[in-house]
C-alpha cells in the first residue's frame, strides 16, 4: 500500500473510510526503476528518472544545489517542483521518512526531495529512457541517481563527496 508523508492527510484517512480509500488509490509520486548500469533507482511521476546534484565532489563548486543550478542549468536540469498541497506518496520499497520538500533558494517554490537531496529531471530524457543523465559533470557538480535507501549511486567515475 502506498504511504504518504502529509500527516494531515494520513490522519484524515484514518478518520473516515472514504479518504482512506482515496489515499490508497493515489499513484505514488516516487517509485523505483531498475537499470543495468545503476541498479535500482528512484523515479518521479510518470517514471521519469530523478537526480541529486552533488556540488561537493571533485570538480564541484561547493554551493548548495539549488543555488548552483540557476537559469542555464535549469534549462537542462529542471527541479522537480511541487506545491505545498502535493502528497508525496511512496510505494512500500521506498522510505516515506526520506521524502520531503525543500524551499527553492529564493524561497518562492518548493522542490521535491529524497533523503534531503533536492531533485531534478534531465530535460533530454523522458520516462521511456533509463537514467542517461547519471554521471554527467556540468554546472558545478555531478548529476547522480539515488538508490531506494536514499544514498547516491556512485558508479564509474563519479567521485565521493567531500561534504
Is the pLDDT at 127 greater than 80? The verdict is no
Q: Where are the domains of the chain?
A: 28-144
Is the pLDDT at 120 greater than 60? The verdict is yes
Give residue for cell 544514498: 151
Is the Cα torsion angle 86, 92, 96, 102 positive or negative in sign?
negative
**3-state SS class at 2:** coil
Calpha distance 114→122 (Å, rounded): 16
Please say whether the beta carbons of 96 and 150 come within 8 A.
Answer: no
What band does 23 get if pLDDT is binned at 50, 70 and 90?
very low
pTM of the model: 0.82
Residue 161 CB neighbour total at 10 angstroms: 16
What band does 146 get if pLDDT is binned at 50, 70 and 90?
very high
Amino acid at each position: 500500500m502506498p504511504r504518504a508523508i502529509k500527516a494531515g492527510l494520513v490522519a484524515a484517512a484514518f478518520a473516515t473510510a472514504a479518504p482512506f480509500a482515496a489515499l490508497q488509490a493515489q499513484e505514488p509520486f516516487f517509485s523505483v526503476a531498475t537499470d543495468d548500469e545503476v541498479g535500482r533507482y528512484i523515479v518521479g511521476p510518470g517514471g521519469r528518472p530523478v537526480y541529486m546534484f552533488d556540488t561537493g565532489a571533485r570538480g564541484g563548486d561547493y554551493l548548495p544545489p539549488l543555488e548552483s543550478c540557476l537559469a542555464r542549468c535549469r534549462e537542462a536540469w529542471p527541479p522537480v517542483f511541487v506545491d505545498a498541497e502535493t502528497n508525496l506518496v511512496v510505494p512500500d520499497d521506498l522510505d516515506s521518512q526520506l521524502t520531503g520538500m525543500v524551499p527553492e533558494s529564493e524561497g518562492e517554490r518548493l522542490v521535491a526531495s529524497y533523503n534531503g537531496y533536492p531533485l531534478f529531471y534531465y530535460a533530454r530524457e523522458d520516462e521511456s529512457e533509463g537514467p542517461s543523465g547519471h554521471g554527467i559533470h556540468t554546472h558545478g557538480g555531478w548529476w547522480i541517481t539515488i538508490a531506494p535507501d536514499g544514498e547516491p549511486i556512485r558508479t564509474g567515475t563519479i567521485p565521493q563527496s567531500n561534504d
